Amino acid sequence: MLKSKILIVDDEDSIRELLEMLLESNGFSNIKMAADGESAIAITEEWHPDIILLDLMLPKIDGLTVCRKIRSNPNTASIPIIMLTAKSEESDIVLGLEIGANDYITKPFSNKIVIARIRNQLRNIPKNNNIITYENLTIDIEKHTVKLDNELLDLTYSEFEILSLFIKSPGRVYTRSQLISNLKGDSYYEVTDRTIDVQIVNLRKKLGDFGKNIITIRSIGYCLKSLENE
């Protein structure tokens, strides 16, 4: 993990230097930096970082556009992106997540949380793994089964799809519309924001104490608690 390539994108020299020192003090040394959107895209395409810390307010090309371009390029689409922004408005956070950012941190940020979020993204299990575990929960994507403490759970199509999405990327926040898009294959009823909320409530009940790991992010969506202690 400590050999991972990290790209810091921020137009403020002080922020870039602070993040670089923070990463180096925690053992990360393979770091590059960009001060604008154009440079960020160029470095990403050439260097292919393992993770990107991306400020939204950038000169030349803003952070949201950078995120969109990275996601639209098959060679860079899977790179985790953590948004760094001074904006705390829900609309900005939601838009970034909708475009494809994996997580977000608002400025001023906690050093411990920055490192925890980075480590969480770097340790995520590859999405093409058929069997995924999280604590005492195991999901078999191919067999469409879920076991909690080695006991099979009876989940609906929607509950299984939501839980599978969460467990593939612990700590990643999903908006309701992202969850709705993921459930489009279920043609039995119209999927709405209210439907998602109901599915989450039912899923938590079936998961018992484990259901506490599904966290509500107020006015934004839901996520599965990261295993990383923040």
Are 97 and 17 members of one domain?
yes
183 φ, ψ to 5°?
-100, 10
How many domains does the chain contain in total? 2
Chain segment 47-64, per-residue pLDDT in tens: 999 999 999 999 989 999
Looking at the structure, do residues 190 and 206 belong to the same domain, yes or no?
A: yes
Predicted local distance difference test score (pLDDT) of residue 131: 82
Distance CA 23, CA 81 (A): 16
Residue 42 has pLDDT above 90, yes or no: yes
Domain match, 115 and 139 both: no
| Distance from C-alpha of 141 to C-alpha of 160, rounded to nearest angstrom | 9
Cβ count near 188 (within 10 Å): 8
Of 82, 103, 123, at which residue does a domain stop? 123
CATH assignment of the domain containing 179: 1.10.10.10
Q: What domain range includes position 104?
A: 6-123
CATH number at residue 92: 3.40.50.2300
| Cα–Cα distance, 63 to 151 (Å, whole number) | 45
In a domain, 1, yes or no: no
In a domain, residue 216? The reply is: yes
pTM of the predicted model over 0.85: no
